[in-house]
Chains A and B, each alone.
Chain A
Amino acid sequence: MSKEFLEYGFNSNRRRFLSNLSLGIGSVALGSLLMPDLWNSKNIEEDGLPVGLPHFAPKAKRIIYLFQNGAPSQQELFDYKPKLNQLRGEEIPPSVRGSQRLTGMTANQSSFPLVGSFVDFQQYGQSRAWVSNLMPYTAKIVDELCFVKSMYTEAINHDPALTFLQTGAQQGNRPSMGAWLSYGLGNLNKNLPSFTVLLSRGIGNGQGVYSRLWTNGFLDSVHQGVQFSKGEDPVLYLRDPEGMNRTERRDMLDNLSVLNDMSYKEFGDPEIVAKIQQYEMAYRMQTAIPEVMDVSKESDAMVKLYGPDCLVPGTYAANCLLARKLVENGVRFVQLYHQGWDQHGNLPYEITQQARDVDQASAGLVIDLKQRGLLEDTLVIWGGEFGRTSYTQGTLTPDNYGRDHHPRCFTIWMAGGGIKPGMVYGETDELGYNIIKDPVHVHDFHATVLHQLGLNHEKLIFKHQGRRYRLTDVAGKVVKDIIS
């Protein structure tokens, strides 16, 4: 009996099959009405959120990153450690140093005498932040700044540390911060690149910067940083060839786009459209770039704010002024590098010169942005790739010493962009060697910066070679305490 029942159940005739089939397809059709994007999923990035827009309303729209390349010594600038002066010449206690890995430059040193700052510190502003006398202009704006004294990193040498801070990985070839932002937020001004790079160099011992620090990595090449140079051609290969005027260029582009259009109609390759757009952008950049780069109309007061070097192309001050002009014109990320902070020896002389290069212009930039109402949605970051040791490298003489690389703690400051002003975050021990409060890892720093730009660092994802990549890799926590 049961067998017959079963057979009855499974023996459907054609009519039943068809009516059930139509029912099934009908249900699917009903469901698909609720999914308008099912068949055109171009905007949905796998796992992440769609790119080109902030994930939530951002506090900051732009970033100016004043990178102090070579790792400025925190002990001489912002992290005041009077104890080091008291203990000058004494060996660093082994309990403090622990089993730390040393660089090849001091690993063979037999003695590690502590040394304090050769320059005095004072407290400033409402926040009573300590600033050394090497930074008199920065001292005046401490109430706009948030000092993070508890940054730490994983790398012990310049190149991996710099690459880590810029790309979230030590080994290179990952997209740089600016490229991620360009990818995540898109371009604001279609006539300028969204990620620009400006270089300058001080008198101090320098370390190289290479274009892989502003690479697009595996992202589309439009997200690569564009380096502006100081000469007559700030952007290379932009100028018309000699003898060609603007009308001729226009005619040429028009004719070229007719041809490109024909070949697009024939082959349908979207790269052809991209190429046409890039030619057009370059054409517009030919007028946009000189408009931005022109400093001749800056007032005397402006020149005094940044210091007169802001009119000398290629200096840090000039790059700071240019950075303000670029963000005013919708550039998302302006990356400065100032080289020469690697004071393994001859520290007192070199750091004085380096500080003089950057102090006034950095402070001037913050003031300038503030006065224009731009500081609230522009995030300014000042800092290097790691810190420097509390003990001297080489021999300690009465008026000279040096400091080696120290990844365990370093100080950076941030201003604007929804970061709490007038704040000092994190703390190091009294020898300025280990962090004792609120450590901030490089991944945390990246997560926080992306958060200020309206991006969830866990959702800004790019899938490449079968793996999902983020700026923060698989780590990073937003440092909520410093967000206003």
Chain B
Amino acid sequence: MANKLEPIFRKGLLALVIFILFIVVFEQFLTLPRWLQALGRMHPLVLHFPIVLLLMAAGLQYFARFSRQSVSGDMRQVLRFLWLAGALFAGITVVMGIFLSQEEGYNSDATDWHKWTGVAVFLLASLLYRLQGHAFLESFTGAVLVIGLAILIPVCGHLGAVLTHGDNFITAPLQLEKKRPVVPLEEAYVFDDLVLPILETKCTGCHNPNKIKGKLNLMDSAAILAGGKSGLAINFQQPEDSRLLERIHLPLEAKEHMPPKGKPQLTPDEEAILVAWIKAGAPFSRKVLSLESSDPLQQLAAKQFQAAPTEVSQEVYTFPAAKEADIERLNTDYRTILPVAYGSPALSVQLFSAQAYEARQLEELQPVKTQIVSLDLSKLPVTDADLKLITPFENLRRLNLNFTNITAEGLTPLSKLQHLDQLHLAGVSLKPEAVKALLTAIPSLKAMTLWETGLTRQHMEELSQINPSLHVTGAFSDGDTVLLKLNPPVARTDQWVFPEQTEVTLGHPVSGVRLHYTLDETEPDSLSPVFSTPLTLHTTSVVRVKGYKEGWLPSDVTDFQFYRNTYKPDSVQLLNKLNHVHLAEGAHTFFDTQLGAIGANNPAWANYFAGVRHEAMQLVCRFDDPAEVSSVGIRYMIEEATGIYPPAAVEIWGGDNDQQLKLLAKRTLQAPEKGETPSLRKLDITFPKHPVRCLKIVAQPYKTEHPRLLLIDEMFLN
């Protein structure tokens, strides 16, 4: 070796050491240009050099140490050369290997182990080169290093072989079972993908051309047809009597039972498949899907294939990625451009807001026209002219034009989009001829949405004739004949409880509903007055409303209750405490015009009812000016199941002040029936008109079995 070259290579080795340490430490940030990938793929070629060189070097070193002869200067030179060359090649191999490992599919534990052992081999070899001529090498530790390297090299090599050939490459010929590639159900053949695998796992161990027991070979269709020593395996005239089945069905103890006792037996599913296959006439070239769906064979097959895992299949796009700066610049408030997935060059574009739409937004997409595979323009005022701006998007797969302003004529330029496979045109007024022409022009189309386009079911079937693999989505069902009932009408007012009068507006969520109403508590029908202008109510009344509309069943009758409360007390006071759960707004609850509702989930239940359980409710109302009261109304709740009862008795006392009260009226009420439906009731107590400054209302809760809750939300004094 020329002494002038050695220092150069030595420096090269040092550079390699540093370079490799650096890229190994920061490997996660590594991004490779394509030409380096090509270099990486030469790793399997180059790796043989360091293996040979380093093993030779290690061997010679060992020989030099134990031969007990003085090592000549030439020998030293050769050793130095071998170590240097070996280490250099090892370094180059490591670099290439790291480049190769950046490609898809090299992320297993095995890759890591291979990488680290490879790096270790390289570093160790470099170290041993540096130690050449040094006494340290003569020591025991030095020998261990050399031997360690000699062991590490085959280990590393084997780990690499596992990556390329699989981990059972060496032992594979020793194993009978073969892994077959997974075939999707659509492409599966009955014999090749269903029957043959069973034969191969359970039969061909003994029935193959090399080991041909009973002169029967089950390796392929021709051999199976040929049969064996005891005749044909399959009887096509009477498939049930085929010899193959006979042997399978014999009891396990029988000498002729197959597979023989002690060998792996057929599973019930496998047996069922063989039986069904032979009974079906042992077809050799039928696809699984060509069988009737009721065929047991297909059901068994479906079961078999369902178990196979489905992997994520991704379309691979070959066009180059767009400039990131372009994508960033074109992403605006109303236009979103995103790669379809991390690392994919394909872009998906969606435009938003009908108000913000301009054709310019499409024009501006020119810099990324090659990369757009999906474009969503639904619900935007896109015109026929705008569609011409889309035609340069040569790789477009998916186009959504639902509810745009385009017409049948506008479809023509779309025929330039030769990769299109999904086209959504719902809500666009179309002509069948235009759609047919487009479909003929773009054979790649797989799915079309044609709901609300004016095309009939008949038209859509004709489309499927042009392109049988086309999937058309139309209306889900042909005009439902079931009539729906209108939902309840609504009423709006500023005052549900009013002192003198209130104005009520009726309405309905569905437009165009006629609202018939009554004010006399009779049931409204289509002859009752129709609501047109707001109603003015002067007395406590119920507005009963029913809605009607063509094409609908009339709504249920809905009652809206309005209450007059002429004399709102100037002050109110409770003489007893309220139940601690049902305090609401205290004494003010009863005149706050807030009506409660049933149902513990409803805030109007919790907030608008005040109640008592153990003591009577004693409410004192005071008026600055005498009030000519002649009736007291009390609204209360009944919920028998939870123990909410009506008042047992109510007394009305009136007078000029609290000291001079006189009993004006008294009423007792029935307890509710067991299981009675919950309801809201109003108790009206009338008495001769009496001017009062003070009115006391005493309501006793029920005490049947145990004290019952009395809940009141509002009172009305008239």
Q: What residues make up the interface of A, taking CB atoms closer than 8 Å to B?
A: 1-2, 5-6, 9, 19-20, 23-24, 26-28, 30-32, 34-38, 41, 44, 49-50, 53-58, 140-141, 186-191, 201, 203, 205-206, 280, 284, 287-288, 291, 296, 300, 303-304, 307-309, 311-312, 328-330, 339-340, 367, 370-373, 376, 451, 454, 480-481, 483
Q: Please, which residue of chain B has its CB at the minimum distance from the CB of A281?
A: B333
Q: Known contacts A37-B31, A54-B341, A56-B314: does B15 contact A308 (CB below 8 Å)?
A: no
Central interface residue in A31, A44, A190, A304, by most chain B CB within 10 Å: A31
Given A24-B18, A37-B31, A372-B426, A304:B379 Cβ within 8 A = no
Contact, CB under 8 Å: A308 / B551: no
- On whether A19 and B32 interact (CB within 8 A), knowing A38-B26, A57-B341, the answer reads no
Partner of A300, one of B339, B452, B477, B551: B551
Residues of B within 8 Å of A191, CB to CB, are: 333-334, 352-353
Interface pair B18/A28, CB less than 8 Å apart: yes
B340 at the interface (CB under 8 A from A): yes
Most central of A373, A480, A481 by chain B CB within 10 Å:
A373
**Is B402 a contact partner of A36 (Cβ separation < 8 A)?**
no
| Residue B16 at the chain A interface, CB threshold 8 Å | yes
A57 to chain B, nearest CB (A): 5
Q: Which of the candidate stretches B480-488, B628-636, B645-653 sits at the interface with the other chain?
A: B480-488
Complex CA gap A228/B306 in Å reads 42
With CB as the reference atom, state the residue of chain B lying closest to A484: B310
What is the CA–CA distance of A303 and B551 in the complex, to the nearest angstrom?
A: 12
Q: List 10 A-B contacts (CB under 8 A).
A: A31-B22, A34-B31, A34-B32, A35-B29, A57-B315, A205-B601, A291-B353, A291-B355, A307-B484, A370-B473
Closest to B314 in A: A57
Shortest distance between the CB of B597 and any CB in chain A (Å): 11
Judge whether B424 and A373 touch: CB under 8 Å.
yes
- Please classify the interface of chain B as helix (H, G, I), strand (E, B), loop, or mixed, using the class held by over half of its residues: loop
Bound-state Cα–Cα, A367 to B426, Å = 13
Contact of B312 (CB < 8 Å), options: A56, A203, A309: A56
Shortest beta-carbon distance from A438 to chain B in Å: 11
A367 vs B447: C-alpha distance in the bound complex, in angstroms? 17
- Shortest CB–CB separation between residue B471 and chain A, in angstroms? 10
**In the complex where A35-B31, A57-B344, A284-B333 touch, is A23 in contact with B15 (Cβ < 8 A)?**
yes
Residues of chain B within 8 A of A50, CB atoms compared: 342
Contact A5/B135 with A191-B334, A307-B484, A367-B476 known, Cβ cut-off 8 Å: yes
Q: How far is the CB of B364 from the nearest CB of chain A, in Å?
A: 16
Q: Which of B135, B306, B449 contacts A2 (CB 8 A)?
A: B135
- B486 near A308 with CB under 8 A, answer yes
Contacts of B264 in A (CB 8 A): none
Query: With the chains together, A188 CA to B335 CA distance in Å?
Result: 9
Chain A residue nearest to B513 in the complex (CB): A308
Chain A residues with CB below 8 A from B312, complex form: 56-57, 451
**For the complex, what is the distance from the CA of A382 to the CA of B510, rounded to whole Å?**
27
Do A6 and B476 have beta carbons less than 8 Å apart? no
On whether the beta carbons of A371 and B475 are closer than 8 Å, the reply is yes
Across the interface, which residues of B come within 8 angstroms of A9, CB to CB? 130, 134
Closest to B95 in A: A31
Q: How far is the CB of A118 from chain B (nearest CB, A)?
A: 17
**B479 nearest CB neighbor, chain A only:** A301
Also in contact, A53 and B341, with CB within 8 A (given A35-B29, A38-B26)? yes
Whether A35 and B26, one on each chain, are in contact in the complex, defined by CB atoms closer than 8 angstroms, is yes
* A330 nearest CB across to chain B (Å): 6
A201 to chain B, nearest CB (A): 7
For A58, the chain B residues whose CB sits under 8 A away are 340-341
Please tell me the size bucket of the interface on B. 35 or more
Pair A481/B551 contact, Cβ less than 8 Å:
no
Residues in B lying within 8 Å of A, measured CB to CB: 11, 14-16, 18-19, 22-23, 26, 28-32, 36, 130, 133-136, 306, 309-310, 312, 314-315, 333-334, 336, 338-342, 344, 350, 352-355, 378-379, 400, 402, 422, 424, 426, 447, 449, 451-452, 473-477, 480, 484-487, 509-511, 551-552, 599, 601
Known: A189-B336, A190-B336. A27 touches B134 (CB 8 A): no
B43 CB to closest chain A CB, in angstroms? Answer: 16
Q: Which of B133, B378, B509, B601 makes the CB contact (< 8 A) with A340?
A: B601
With A203-B599, A339-B601, A373-B400 as known contacts, state yes or no: A5 contacts B134, CB within 8 Å. Answer: yes
- The reply to whether B350 and A188 contact each other, CB–CB distance below 8 Å, is yes
Evaluate contact between B510 and A24: CB separation under 8 angstroms. Answer: no
B residues near A304, Cβ cutoff 8 Å = 480, 484
- Once A34-B36, A339-B601 are accepted as A-B contacts, the answer to whether A372 and B341 lie under 8 Å apart by CB is no
User: In angstroms, how far is the closest chain B Cβ from the Cβ of A283?
Assistant: 10
Give the docked Cα–Cα distance between A309 and B486 (Å): 9
Cα–Cα, bound, A367→B452 (Å):
13
Q: Which residues of chain A are near B511, meaning CB under 8 Å?
A: 296
Report if A288-B30 is in contact (Cβ < 8 Å); known contacts: A54-B342, A373-B400, A481-B306. Answer: no
Q: How far is the CA of A296 from the CA of B333 in the complex (A)?
A: 26
Residues of B within 8 A of A19 (CB): 11
B310 touches A480 (CB 8 A): yes
CB <8 Å contact, B354 and A291 = yes
Task: Specify which chain A residues have a CB less than 8 angstroms from the CB of B475 in the assembled complex.
Answer: 371
- Provide the residues of chain A in CB contact with B424, threshold 8 Å: 372-373
- Which 10 A-B residue pairs are closest in the complex by CB-CB distance? A373-B449, A2-B135, A311-B509, A27-B19, A371-B451, A373-B424, A35-B29, A27-B18, A308-B487, A31-B22
Instruction: State how many angstroms separate the Cβ of B221 from the closest Cβ of chain A.
Output: 32
Q: Is the CB of A55 within 8 A of B26?
A: no
With A34-B32, A371-B476 given, can you name 16 additional A-B contacts, CB distance below 8 Å? A5-B135, A9-B134, A23-B15, A28-B22, A35-B26, A56-B312, A287-B353, A296-B511, A307-B484, A307-B487, A328-B378, A371-B426, A371-B451, A372-B426, A373-B426, A454-B341
A434 to B474, CA, bound (A): 41
CB proximity of B107 to chain A, nearest CB, Å: 12
Instruction: Give the complex CA separation of A58 and B339 in angstroms.
Output: 11
Question: Is B15 a contact of A26 with CB atoms below 8 Å?
Answer: yes
**Contacts A56-B341, A57-B314 hold; do A5 and B133 have CB atoms under 8 A apart?**
yes
Q: A206 — which chain B residues lie within 8 A by C-beta?
A: 601
A55 in contact with B342 (CB, 8 Å): yes
CB of A31 within 8 A of CB of B338, answer: no
Closest A-chain residue to B28, C-beta based? A44
B112 smallest CB distance to A (angstroms): 16
Q: Using Cβ atoms and an 8 Å threshold, which residues of chain A touch B378?
A: 328, 372
* Distance in Å: Cβ of B620 to nearest Cβ of chain A: 38
A65 to B63, CA, bound (A): 75
Give the chain B neighbours of A190 by CB distance below 8 A: 333-334, 336, 352
Measured CA separation A141–B480 after assembly (Å): 14
Residues on the B chain within 8 Å of A55, using CB: 341-342
User: Whole-angstrom distance between the alpha carbons of A53 and B135 in the complex?
Assistant: 59
Which A-chain residue is minimally distant from B379 (CB atoms)? A328
A367 vs B134: C-alpha distance when bound (angstroms): 83
Q: Which residues of A contact B14 (CB under 8 A)?
A: 20, 23-24
**Closest Cβ of chain A: how far from B293's Cβ, in Å?**
10
CA distance A26 to B15 in the complex (A): 8
Task: Name the B residues within 8 Å of A329 (CB-CB).
Answer: 352
- The answer to whether B601 touches A330, judged by C-beta atoms less than 8 angstroms apart, is no
Contact status of A27 and B15, CB under 8 A, knowing A54-B340, A189-B352: yes
Residue numbers in A under 8 Å from B29 (CB-CB): 35, 37-38, 41, 44
Given A49-B342, A57-B340, the answer on whether A372 and B352 have CB atoms closer than 8 Å is: no
In the assembled complex, the Cα of A111 lies from the Cα of B475 at a distance in Å of 52
Contact of B22 among A27, A330, A451 (CB under 8 A): A27
Give the one of B11, B344, B352, B355 with max A CB within 10 A.
B352
Report the minimum CB–CB distance from B396 to chain A (whole Å): 15
B15 adjacent to A330 (CB under 8 Å):
no
Is the CB–CB distance between A371 and B350 below 8 Å?
Answer: no
Chain A residues with CB under 8 A of B15:
23-24, 26-27
Query: Which residue of B has the minimal Cβ distance to A375?
Result: B473
In the complex, which residue of chain A has the Cβ closest to the Cβ of B376? Answer: A330
Closest Cβ of chain A to B314, distance in Å, is: 5
| Chain A residues whose CB sits within 8 angstroms of the CB of B134 once the complex forms | 2, 5-6, 9
